[in-house]
Amino acid sequence: MRFTSGLTAVVLAVLALVIVGAAQEPSTVARPGEGVTAPRILREVKPVYTEAAKKERIQGTVAMDVVVKADGNVGDVTVTRSLDTTYGLDAEAVKAVKQWVFDPGKKDGKAVPVLVQIEMSFSLK
């Protein structure tokens, strides 16, 4: 009887995992082109130049892959070319872009999540 009960528990656990997995179907993220329009910036927030980075005279560009969600807000952000992890410029670039708002990209007239590449420059003038 224990074997049957244990087997029943395993079958139920596997079924639960299958049901949860189906409910969490990953959404696809498109790229501009081939019927997908690029998102358009509605509100842009400039990054803060940290005092430590200014003192060290760090200048350059942070490149990021940014997912613009179907509601026009920013989702996942990944730094693809770092400028500065020590004095906070990479973090400030991510913090700023997460506040941007877009008219979302569209496919077949429907808003869809779109992956775009954004660069933020830091320059001392």
Residue-wise pLDDT tens digits, 72-100? 999 999 999 999 999 999 999 999 999 99
Report how far Cα 98 is from the mean position of its chain's Cα atoms.
8
Output the pTM of the full model: 0.77
Identify residue 33 by its one-letter amino acid code.
G
Residue 65's pLDDT band, with cuts at 50, 70 and 90, is very high
Helix (H) or strand (E) holding 106: strand 106-107
Distance between CA 42 and CA 28 in Å, rounded? Answer: 23
The two structure tokens encoding residue 68: 């613009």
Distance between CA 65 and CA 121 in Å, rounded? Answer: 15
